[in-house]
């Protein structure tokens, strides 16, 4: 569990892309974020109160979130100095960098001295085990993708928000670093040992006996040749009652591989349902979430219409239109008696 409230560390960032983790956390959990920290030269702001570490501690901040991506994921000397200042101010530190906080001798020593927590978000727990696929109780939805980075986290969070607005119990289950900061817990499934992918997903969404939902953030795509193993293990371990397919319609090719076309949405949906039946024979598709940020309103509507015609499922853009229809269908199509 990562303690809030957060101070979002922006370093000396000069573009939004390098602070996209911080932007995601501030967008989905504004109530967790009470300040931002900028180094010299930083031109990005989240319009939060600017604080140094002492001020942040005085304001009640619990954790400094390193919401920056560095080339190579390595900590530079200025960042290390700032981390040490934060620790000395009594703040926990959460990092999405590849280089670990906990194995940096000075950082680890100072943290132990001050009794603060270090969270290496890319480094999963070391006591994971293999999955079993044994059926468990509870209602679960997993987002799946036609590709990487097509809005699976946003779609999952939008469904959680929609369910909460209807007073339905629902928990976002995070599988990537931004998601983990938003949920204040989770497992970076792409970083677990390969044997433990489905086991990590089972740990992440354990059996539940209330009538609430676990809404699980998907990763990768069954059709991405780099990451499909992660996607399949996550699908098997999540044992979802329903999947929501996420798609970016303007994508010219699979992310990072210029030679590879995207799958057809029908093939993608069918492959996920077929594979998902291994651990949940009753799995259904509940809807399609599309990132239409590059389309004008008319193009957007045509995109929705054509996908709805093709797949006979509600299609929405979580950001532009919300996910009311997808959520309606998700609730309708999953047999509620299962949780009873």
Contact residue for a copy of itself among 141, 192, 246, 330 (CB under 8 A): 192
Residue 149 belongs to what H/E stretch?
none
Contact residue for a copy of itself among 9, 37, 172, 227 (CB under 8 A): 227
The residues in 130-159 that bind a copy of itself, with binding defined as CB under 8 A, are: 130-134
Smaller CB separation from a copy of itself, 206 or 256: 256
Alpha carbons 274 and 265: distance in angstroms, whole number: 14
Contact residue for a copy of itself among 236, 247, 300, 325 (CB under 8 A): 236
Q: Is 64 in the site for a copy of itself (CB under 8 A)?
A: no
Alpha carbons 246 and 272: distance in angstroms, whole number: 12
**How big is the chain, counted in residues?**
340
Smaller CB separation from a copy of itself, 70 or 226: 226
Residue 95 belongs to what H/E stretch?
strand 92-95
Contact residue for a copy of itself among 238, 279, 291, 329 (CB under 8 A): 279
Smaller CB separation from a copy of itself, 150 or 254: 254
Question: What is the smallest separation between the CB atom of 197 and a copy of itself, expressed in angstroms?
Answer: 4
Smaller CB separation from a copy of itself, 158 or 200: 200
Residue 296 belongs to what H/E stretch?
none
3-class DSSP assignment, residue 213: strand
* DSSP letter for each residue of 28-92: H-GGGEEEEEE-TT-----SPPB--HHHHHHTT--EEEE----GGGPPPHHHHHHHHHHHHTT-E
Q: Which stretch binds a copy of itself (CB under 8 A): 73-81, 107-115, 186-194, 292-300?
A: 186-194
Q: Is 199 in the site for a copy of itself (CB under 8 A)?
A: yes
Q: Is 195 in the site for a copy of itself (CB under 8 A)?
A: yes
Alpha carbons 214 and 10: distance in angstroms, whole number: 31
Q: Is 96 in the site for a copy of itself (CB under 8 A)?
A: no
Q: Is 223 in the site for a copy of itself (CB under 8 A)?
A: yes
Q: Is 207 in the site for a copy of itself (CB under 8 A)?
A: no
Count the residues of the shown chain that bind a copy of itself, applying the rule CB under 8 A.
Answer: 38
Residue 76 structure tokens: 């530079």
Question: What is the smallest separation between the CB atom of 247 and a copy of itself, expressed in angstroms?
Answer: 18
Decide: residue 143, CB within 10 A, 0-12 exposed, 13-18 middle, 19+ buried.
buried
Q: CB under 8 Å to 152, separation ≥6 — which residues?
A: 143, 144, 145, 217, 218, 219, 246
Side by side, the strands of the sheet bearing 92-95 are 33-38, 6-11, 63-66, 92-95, 118-120
Q: Which stretch binds a copy of itself (CB under 8 A): 6-14, 159-167, 243-251, 254-262?
A: 254-262
Contact residue for a copy of itself among 189, 269, 307, 313 (CB under 8 A): 189
Where does this chain bind a copy of itself (CB under 8 A)?
Answer: 130-134, 189-195, 197-199, 222-223, 225-234, 236-237, 256-257, 259-260, 271, 274-275, 278-279
């Amino acid at each position: 569990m990562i303690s809030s409230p957060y101070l979002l560390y922006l370093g000396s960032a000069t573009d939004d892309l390098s602070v996209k983790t911080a932007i995601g956390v501030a967008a989905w959990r504004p109530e967790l974020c009470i300040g931002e920290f900028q180094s010299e030269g930083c031109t990005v702001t989240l319009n939060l109160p600017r604080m140094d570490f002492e001020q942040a501690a005085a304001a009640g901040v619990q954790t400094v979130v390193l919401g920056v991506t560095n080339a190579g994921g390595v900590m530079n000397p200025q960042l290390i100095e700032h981390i040490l200042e934060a620790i000395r101010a009594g703040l926990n530190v959460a990092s999405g960098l590849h280089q670990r906080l906990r194995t940096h001798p000075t950082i680890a020593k100072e943290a132990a001295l001050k009794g603060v927590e270090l969270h290496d978000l890319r480094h999963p727990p070391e006591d994971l085990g293999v999955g079993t696929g044994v059926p468990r109780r509870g209602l679960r939805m997993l987002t799946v993708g036609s590709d990487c980075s097509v809005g699976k986290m946003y779609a999952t969070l939008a469904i959680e928000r929609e369910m909460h607005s209807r007073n339905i119990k629902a928990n976002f289950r995070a599988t990537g670093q931004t998601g983990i900061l938003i949920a204040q817990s989770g497992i970076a499934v792409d970083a677990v040992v390969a044997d433990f992918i489905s086991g990590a997903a089972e740990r992440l969404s354990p059996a539940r006996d209330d009538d609430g939902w676990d809404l699980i953030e998907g990763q990768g795509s069954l059709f991405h040749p780099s990451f499909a193993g992660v996607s399949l293990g996550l699908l098997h371990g999540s044992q979802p009652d329903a999947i929501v397919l996420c798609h970016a319609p303007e994508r010219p090719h699979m992310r990072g591989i210029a030679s590879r076309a995207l799958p057809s949405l029908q093939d993608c949906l069918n492959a996920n349902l077929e594979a998902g039946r291994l651990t949940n024979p009753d799995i259904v598709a509940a809807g399609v979430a599309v990132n239409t940020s590059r389309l004008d309103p008319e193009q957007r509507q045509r995109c929705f219409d054509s996908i709805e015609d093709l797949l006979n499922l509600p299609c929405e853009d979580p950001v532009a239109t919300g996910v009311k229809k997808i959520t309606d269908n998700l609730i309708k199509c999953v047999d509620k008696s299962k949780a009873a």
